[in-house]
Amino acid sequence: MFGYENENRRGPGRWIQYIFETALIIAASGYLIRLGVRFFLEVWWVLLIIAAMTAGAAIGWRIWKNRHGDRW
C-alpha cells in the first residue's frame, strides 16, 4: 500500500511498521469522519430546506398536471 511491495520486509521492524501504518490510517479515518460529521451538523438545515423545496415543487407539479390534464 505504501510502496513496500517490492522490498524485503523481514525482521522485527516490520511488525512495528505495520502497527504504525495501521495506527496512522485509523487516526486519519477518525479525523476525517469527525470532520464530516461536524460539516453535516453545520449544514443540515440548508439541506432540509432544499429537500422541502424540491418535494414541494414535485408535489405542486403533480397536482398542476393532474388538474390540467395533458393540455396547456
* CA–CA dist 59, 72 (Å, integer): 18
pLDDT confidence tier of residue 10, bands split at 50, 70 and 90:
low
What value does the mean pLDDT take over residues 48-55?
Answer: 97
> Per residue in 13-37, pLDDT tens?
788 889 999 999 999 999 999 999 9
**For the chain, what is the largest distance between any 2 Cα atoms, rounded to a whole number of angstroms?**
79
Sequence length of the chain is 72
Please, what is the Cα angle at 13 between 10 and 18, to 5 degrees?
90
Query: Of 2, 29, 26, nearest to 14 (Cα)?
Result: 2
pLDDT of 54 above 60: yes
- pTM value is 0.56
What value does the mean pLDDT take over residues 56-71?
Answer: 86
Query: Of 67, 72, 45, nearest to 59 (Cα)?
Result: 67
pLDDT of 5 above 60: no
